Amino acid sequence: MLTAEDKKLIQQMWGKLGGAEEEIGADALNRMSHSYPPTKTYFPHFDLSPGSDQIRGHGKKVVAALTTAIKNIDNLSQALSELSNLHAYNLRVDPVNFKFLSQCLQVSLATRLGKDYSPDVHSAVDKFMSAVASVLAEKYR
């Protein structure tokens, strides 16, 4: 459960990204395809080489969705409803993969933010990404 303090930490941390959102999204996707190669099967139509236009473009979309989620942190189900439909019904992404992207995003954030990615922020982001993942997976039942 995200506490009020967790939400504050996430919002503050996100505010420190200062224009690096696209880069962070692309880095997270790049790490995901590298560290968890089976995730590549969902992107047969992508050029997955690091820094490709498709990785960058997609990274930007993923981070924009997370920005929306952070703005609507008390109402994630509604905010991510369309995305949840897409991942469950159209893309059929196995929910196990959400954890992989979450791990990779955390490494990207930590690399970028250094000391600002404190254990408290880490814990808050971990909870937030679990909440996002459960919304994205909730239509599978």
Binding site for ligand HEM (CB under 6 A): 39, 42-43, 58, 61-62, 65-66, 83, 86-87, 91, 93, 97-98, 101, 132, 136
**Closest CB to ligand HEM among 62 and 125?**
62
For residues 141 and 139, what is the distance between their CA atoms, to the nearest angstrom? Answer: 6
Provide the minimum distance between the beta carbon of 40 and ligand HEM in the complex, in angstroms, as a whole number: 8
Sign of torsion, CA 59 108 42 136? Answer: negative
Provide the minimum distance between the beta carbon of 75 and ligand HEM in the complex, in angstroms, as a whole number: 16
The helix/strand count (H/E) of the chain reads as: 7, 0
**Closest CB to ligand HEM among 41 and 119?**
41
Provide the minimum distance between the beta carbon of 88 and ligand HEM in the complex, in angstroms, as a whole number: 11
Residue 45 Cα distances to 23, 26, 55, angstroms: 21, 16, 11
Provide the minimum distance between the beta carbon of 20 and ligand HEM in the complex, in angstroms, as a whole number: 17
**Closest CB to ligand HEM among 92 and 115?**
92
**Closest CB to ligand HEM among 42 and 113?**
42
Which positions ≥6 away from 34 have C-beta within 8 Å?
none
Report which DSSP code applies to 40: G
Cβ–Cβ < 8 Å for 131, 6: no
